[in-house]
Amino acid sequence: MKVELQNLTKIFPSRNKKSNEEVVAVSDFNLTIPDGKLVGLLGPSGCGKSTTLYMISGLQKPTAGKIFFGDEDVTELSPENRGIGLVFQNYALYPHMTVKQNILFPLQNLKGADKMTKEQMHERAYKAARLVQIDELMDRKPSELSGGQQQRVAIARALVKMPRVLLLDEPLSNLDARLRLQTREEIRRIQKETGITTIFVTHDQEEAMSISDVIVVMKLGVVQQVGKPQEIYDNPINLFVAKFLGTPPINVFDGKVKDGALYIGEEKVLDVGKVNDGRVFVGVRPEGFVPAEDGALTCKLSNVEVMGRDVSIVSSNKAMLSQTIRSIVDADYKISVGAEYVKFNLKPHKVFLFDEYTEERIYFGSQSAPTPIDEEM
Ligand code: ADP
Ligand code: MG
């Protein structure tokens, strides 16, 4: 099912009667999700991810804008009539019911033409349970399950009605690291197997990167960038997006452009061609540093961590805006651990410039702005 959001906006009235400070939770959100894709809604806490999801589900009414499932305008439709499956962070299972009863529950309330026989319901419940691999646990109570198993039950319950759209709000946040990894792979597998259009909310960039066909990065209710995970990483549209994606995070320096050359501190580090003179923020991805004896950028060496194939170099530079520079280089480069300084050349396609005031990207050399994704995704 194709999902289309048009100018979707949610403004919460002020909680305090005296002040008029309303909260713009979501502002003019436009997105088309083609049938069968998984979209990751990514952003820091409070940026409007859940509110967006709740509007799509029908649990919250938009202040403005429209929502379409296929060609159908569902903006005014109640949640029950939208054909959605919802999974929350806290699994929200009924504690007094068995796993099977929990999964059956959404089917028992179906009315009219949708009403099912006992056998049909049973068959559906087992099918959903098999999909998430909990069909052995059908007679247990939620308290007798691990967190990961409980979340699978919640997913089965969301799938049992064969929803047109699956909505997941930080579904992995309550799981420990290992289970989180495993469950996110499961969700991806289930999504591919069923082909259900899915919106997956998370504040965890790595999670979003690994699971999504397309990521939507949000900040303060406003969509910043929409694109394939790798494209957003390789070509961020502003400093916020550049900083939000990537582990270790991007290194940001105070820089200066003069006569087509980029300077960090007093050192000329790159030719940038036709960029206006002035101060800029310089973002360098950890893999953008190439150690070289006559390297352009001199950094004070703090630590060298060998991690198998790669070497992580921790260093510092006065123009760096946070404490340390983290660079990842090939293990072939022999870095002398005892050295006081390390010099780097920078890979131009791993270096991003940003306007010092607007923090918008400044493209240089062969770089160019990302193309809108809507048509090709
Ligand atoms: P996220 O899921 O990205 O953490 P939310 O969508 O929950 O963010 O919240 C977005 C903004 O809207 C926040 O500033 C939050 O405080 C506010 N907000 C959310 N729900 C309500 C509500 N029911 N009433 C007032 N403000 C709300
Ligand atoms: Mg939320």
Q: Output the pLDDT for position 94.
A: 94
In angstroms, what is the span from residue 25 Cα to ligand 2's centroid? 11
125 CA → ligand 1 middle, Å: 34
Ligand 2 centre distance from Cα of residue 169 (Å): 7
Give, using CA atoms, the residue closest to atom 11 of ligand 1.
Answer: 25
Atom of ligand 1 nearest to the CA of 48: 6
Quick check: 149 and 176 in contact, CB under 8 A?
Answer: no
Q: Which ligand is nearest to the CA of 9?
A: 1
Distance of CA 340 from the midpoint of ligand 2 (Å): 45
Query: CA torsion 324→320→296→281, rounded to 10°?
Result: 140
User: Within its chain, how far is the Cα of 246 from the centroid?
Assistant: 11
Q: Delimit the domains of the chain by residue range.
A: 3-239, 250-365
Of 51, 218, 222, the one to substitute when testing ligand 1's pocket (max ligand atoms within 8 A of C-beta) is 51
Read off the pLDDT of residues 97-144 as tens digits, 9 standing for 90 and up: 999 999 999 998 788 888 889 999 999 999 999 988 899 999 999 999
Cα 173 to averaged position of ligand 2 atoms, centre (Å): 11
Q: Is residue 281 classed as helix, strand or coil in its secondary structure?
A: strand
Q: Distances from the Cα of 299 to the Cαs of 251, 255, 327, 345, in angstroms?
A: 13, 15, 11, 11
Q: Which ligand is nearest to the CA of 90?
A: 2
Give the pLDDT score at 167.
Answer: 97
Which residue has its alpha carbon closest to ligand 1 atom 27? 12
Cβ of 25 closer than 6 Å to ligand 1, yes or no, is yes
Beta-carbon neighbours within 5 Å of ion ligand 2: 50
- Per the CATH hierarchy, to which homologous superfamily does domain 3-239 belong? P-loop containing nucleotide triphosphate hydrolases (3.40.50.300)
Residue 117, Cβ neighbours under 10 Å: how many?
8
Report the C-alpha gap between 67 and 197 in whole angstroms.
Answer: 14
Buried b (16+ CB within 10 A) or exposed e, 100-115: bbbbbebbeeeeeeee
Is residue 294 classed exposed, middle or buried when 0-12, 13-18 and 19+ CB atoms within 10 A define those classes?
Answer: exposed
What phi-psi label fits residue 189: left (phi over 0), alpha (psi between -120 and 50 degrees) or beta? alpha
Taken in order 11, 12, 13, 19, is the CA torsion positive or negative? negative
Q: What are 263's two structure tokens?
A: 């300077």
Q: Which residues of the chain, if any, have pLDDT below 70?
A: 374-377
Q: How far is CA 157 from CA 87, 106, 126, 240, 288, in A?
A: 9, 7, 11, 37, 45
CA of 220 to the centre of ligand 1 (A): 10
Tokens of 117: 């026989």
**pLDDT tens for each residue of 43-76:** 999 999 999 999 999 999 999 999 999 999 999 9
Q: What is the pLDDT of residue 377?
A: 56
The answer to whether the CB of 89 is under 6 A from ligand 1 is: no
* Atom of ligand 1 at shortest range from CA of 60: 23
144/278 Cα distance (integer angstroms): 63
CB of 23 closer than 6 A to ligand 1?
A: yes
